[in-house]
Amino acid sequence: HYLAYSSSLLSTEQYQAHVLIQLSRDELLSAYSRLQWQLFGIVVLMLLLTLAAALWSARSISQPLIALAQAAQRIGRGEPMALPKEGSVAETQQLASTLYTMQEAIAKREATLLHQSRHDRLTNLPNRLSAVEDIEQLVAKAYPFTLLRFSINDFRDINDTFGYELGDHLLVALGQCLQQLPAPTHKAYRLDGDELMLLIRQAHLLDNQREEMMTLISEPIRLDQSMITPSLSAGEVSYPEHGNSARLLLRRSDIALDQARRHRYLHMRYQDGQDEQHLRQLMLIRDLQKAVDNNELWMAYQPKVDTSTGRVCQFEALMRWRHPTLGFVPPDEFIELAERSGNIGLLSDWMLSHVCEQLQHWKQAGRHLSVAINLSASDVTDSKLALHLHELLESYGLTPDQLAVEVTESAVMQDVEAATRTLLALSDMGLKIAVDDYGTGYSSLAQLKRLPVNELKIDKSFVLKLDSQEEDQTIVRSTIEMGHNLGVRIVAEGVENRATADLLKHLHCDYLQGYWISKPMPAQDVAPWLDAFEPINFAPPLMPSH
């Protein structure tokens, strides 16, 4: 444990002297030990300082990056986020600035998309979605209000005549006019096509308020170099009287507007029961295909009598429908719905095949009968109808004289040129053509004489009270005379009594049809009825007294 040092001091032959120095090792190294601990302390301190500096440097970089990452995630979720703009590193500052710019662009784009999703691009009016939201909010707060829904009459004709661009300008001008209406108007919307709507914070509109609004929005509008006076129809509903939801109120406002348009009224307020009728119509339209597939349709046949012989000359085929849940559906109802919904072709095809098949059965039974079928407006303008009928006649072995067609004058007048081409083709085949419900439309004999018409059927509204109404007698007499002058035979439908039949015979009407002769009957009853039918002997004309 000691350190020794030896050194020779004297060395002779007689004497030698040495010196020995010893030092304790612990005492000797004690000074170095203190220095060692000082150096260790310095190294540890430097390590700690270096670690602290590294941690601070990493934290100064990572914290802004973590904050930016969290901000980016919240931006991705569409949440608002205040981005950190300050940073210790230029790159993080640039990244934060980029994310901040991106957030502003996303927010601006979302605001634009939100506006576009709730506004009409053409008129910039709030759209249907916005209307639904606003209505639901008012309903939730139980605030009474009125919806006034508008439609431009004959808007398609305006587009066809003046062009779609002018039609768009008209919608924009009307939208601006609606937005400028005075109180109590709350908000204007464009729902669909030419339909606009006002939300009015008032439970009921007074007549003078409604008239004032209709007058303001019906004033002439200058478009380009033209002045156009819009013709409008309006449907009205109120909350809470007519419904307690946006869906129900909008549907009923559409029903009221549809009633106003169909009857060419300026305004129509929703009436109780119209919604149930609307739902019934939707059910019937939906079930038309099932009616054909499930044999729910059947044909009834009503005879016509020739006044010159008193014998049956023809039957008219009339379609009937017995719905499985609604029961008997009036033909005027479901045929009109088929025309409006575009399903009339479905019924027409079924009718033509069914009638031709029935005529074949009668022919095979030795009865050569003639049946008149009714054509719709779409049928009479179908360029392929003549070919289709020709194929049916050949397929069932029928002759043209066994089939006649009836078409209403209103159907012909919808497209006179197309109807004329179709009727001429049918006439060339040898089919007789009759114009039904004559006197109820806008045509005249001068227009009809250009068509290949063989018969005119006087509408039953002029015949039902013919024996007691002198005005109807005058109309019927003049129609018969003018028809005969044009070489057209006259049929009177709606003959309900003997007096009317005799009077029509004396007025030289050619054919009679009505309940007095027979109600429409199913096909299986025609043969027995014909066997039991006795020719009609009309009463002789009264001799004038002297």
In one-letter notation, the amino acid at residue 333 is E
Beta-bridge partner residues of 187: 199
Report for 23-27, 463-467, 506-510: range of highest mean pLDDT = 506-510
Lowest mean per-residue pLDDT among 28-42, 45-59, 237-251, 352-366: 28-42
Q: Is the per-residue pLDDT at 365 higher than 80?
A: yes
The 10s digit of each residue's pLDDT in 180-210 is 887 766 788 998 888 899 998 888 887 888 8
**At residue 90, does pLDDT exceed 90?**
no
**pLDDT at 314 (0 to 100):** 95
Query: Which H or E run contains 10?
Result: strand 2-11
What amino acid is encoded at 37 in this protein? W
Q: Name the maximum alpha-carbon separation found in the chain.
A: 211
pLDDT > 70: percent of the chain: 87
**Which residues on adjacent β-strands are paired with residue 227?**
222
Does pLDDT of 501 surpass 90?
yes
With 50 as the cut, is the pLDDT of residue 545 above it? no
Q: Give residue 229's pLDDT.
A: 81
Q: Burial-class residue 174 by CB neighbours within 10 Å (0-12, 13-18, 19+).
A: buried
Q: How many CA atoms lie within 13 A of 512 on its CB side?
A: 33
Q: pLDDT: is 427 or 449 the higher one?
A: 427
* pLDDT score of 91: 57
User: How far apart, in whole angstroms, are the C-alpha atoms of residue 516 and residue 305?
Assistant: 11
DSSP-assigned letters across all residues of 289-303: HHHHHTT-EEEEEEE
Q: What is the pLDDT of residues 109-159, one digit of tens each?
A: 777 777 778 888 888 889 999 999 999 999 999 999 999 998 888 888 778
Interatomic CA distance for residues 397 and 403, integer angstroms: 12
pLDDT greater than 90 at residue 437: no
Q: What's the CA gap between 399 and 525, in Å, rounded?
A: 23
Query: What average pLDDT does this structure show over 318-342?
Result: 90
Q: How far apart are CA 17 and CA 67, in angstroms?
A: 85
Give the integer Cα–Cα distance in Å for 21 and 8.
Answer: 12
42, 46, 52, 322 from 49: Cα distances, Å: 10, 5, 5, 98
Return the pLDDT at 546.
41
- DSSP string computed for 431-500: -EEEEEEETSSS--HHHHTTS---EEEE-GGGTTTTTT-HHHHHHHHHHHHHHHHTT-EEEEE---SHHH
- pLDDT of residue 84 exceeding 60, the answer is no
Of these ranges, 177-181, 215-219, 401-405, the one predicted with the greatest mean pLDDT is: 401-405
463: exposed, middle or buried (Cβ count in 10 Å: 0-12, 13-18, 19+): buried
Lowest average pLDDT, out of 20-24, 72-76, 404-408, goes to 72-76
Structure tokens at 421: 């081409």
Q: What is the pLDDT of residue 409?
A: 78
Q: Is the pLDDT of residue 259 over 90?
A: no
Please give the single-letter amino acid code of residue 355: V
- The answer to whether 407 and 380 have CB atoms below 8 angstroms apart is yes
Enumerate the β-bridge partners of residue 301: 317, 521
Evaluate if residue 544 carries a pLDDT over 60. Answer: no
368-398 pLDDT, tens per residue? 999 999 998 889 888 899 999 999 999 999 9
pTM equals 0.65
| Cα gap 272→468, rounded to integer Å | 37
Map residue 385 onto helix, strand or coil: helix
Q: Determine the pLDDT at residue 53.
A: 80
DSSP state string for 205-257: --HHHHHHHHHHHTS-EEETTEEE---EEEEEEEETTT-SSHHHHHHHHHHHH
pLDDT at 160 over 90: no
Determine the average pLDDT of the residues in 495-514.
Answer: 95
In the chain, the amino acid numbered 388 is: H
Distance CA 353, CA 346 (A): 11
Whether 474 has a pLDDT exceeding 60, the answer reads: yes
Share of the chain above pLDDT 90, in %: 37
How far is CA 53 from its chain centroid? 71
Q: What is the mean pLDDT of the chain?
A: 84
Rank 236-240, 301-305, 486-490 by mean pLDDT and report only the highest: 301-305
**Residue 87 confidence (pLDDT) above 60:** no
